Amino acid sequence: MTPTPKHRSIFVITMITALWAQSALGHILQREAYGFVTGFLHPISGADHVLAMVAVGLWGAQLGAPAIWVLPVAFPLVMAMGGMLGFLGMPLPGVEYGIAASAIVLGAAVAFELRPSLVIAALVVGCFAIFHGHAHGTELPAGQSALLYSMGFVVATGGLHAIGIGIGTAHRRPWGRRLLRVAGTVVAAGGAFFMWKALA
């Protein structure tokens, strides 16, 4: 049989369709592997989270030792408590307000170079961490590994703190102090924007 133009068209369409096909992902366990990536992207993909996490690092660097490492240690631990509440389905009122307020307060602390005692600083950071953790915990996508998701967002949070600390080391230079105060103002302004969005 000699191929006609119609046969050729059918062949081309069939080939395109066959090559266009995506993975079926019929087995839900395959999605488990995405858990780490999803968890890792969660704090990074939300500017409100990013601002607050970086501000923790900035503030820690401004306060110096031991706050420079106590705050980034306290934050993920308390955040995990919030995440656990989220996993367990326990409601926490005003999560969005809490997250926006964290950026405002932590940004203001950096902008005004507030120097409370270590305990107070850790308590402030810890209180806000619960809201961030709860938001992460309630947004675990179905079928993904909770452990990998948790590890992903804990590592991403720590990474954002490290970025904040890295920027905060500029505090040792005279121009760096001014830079940090500007950065704190930007974080607080961002927090105010997210608060306005949450209230609207």
Partner 1 sequence: MKKKIMSRAQIRAIVMLGVALACAPADAHLNATGMGPIYDGLMHFVTSPEDLVPALALALLAGLRGAPYGRRAMFMLPAAWLLGSLAGLSSAVASAGTLGAALWFLLLGGLVVADAKLSLRSLTALCALLGIFHGYLNGTGMGFSAQAIVATLGLAAAAFVMVVIVAALVVQLRAHWARIAVRVGGSWIAASGVLMLGWSIRGS
Contacting residues toward partner 1, per CB under 8 A: 69, 72-73, 76-77, 79-81, 83-89, 137, 146-148, 150-151, 154-155, 158
CB of 161 to partner 1, least distance (A): 8
Separation of alpha carbons 147 and 153, rounded Å = 10
CB of 189 to partner 1, least distance (A): 29
Residue whose CB is less far from partner 1, 76 or 191: 76
Separation of alpha carbons 109 and 54, rounded Å = 13
Sign of the dihedral through C-alpha 112, 116, 118, 119: negative
Distances (CA, A) of 85 to 15, 81, 92, 153, 197: 50, 6, 8, 15, 25
Alpha-helical segments (H) within the chain: 5-20, 35-45, 47-63, 67-87, 95-111, 118-138, 146-168, 174-199
Residue whose CB is less far from partner 1, 44 or 148: 148
Residues in the chain: 200
Backbone angles phi, psi at 114, to 5 degrees: -65, 140
Query: Cα 193 vs. chain centroid, distance in angstroms?
Result: 17
Separation of alpha carbons 113 and 106, rounded Å = 10
CB of 174 to partner 1, least distance (A): 23
CB of 81 to partner 1, least distance (A): 6
Residue whose CB is less far from partner 1, 72 or 184: 72
Residue whose CB is less far from partner 1, 89 or 91: 89
Residue whose CB is less far from partner 1, 80 or 103: 80
Of residues 70, 164, 178, the one with CA closest to residue 126: 70
CB of 21 to partner 1, least distance (A): 28
Residue whose CB is less far from partner 1, 78 or 187: 78
CB of 148 to partner 1, least distance (A): 6
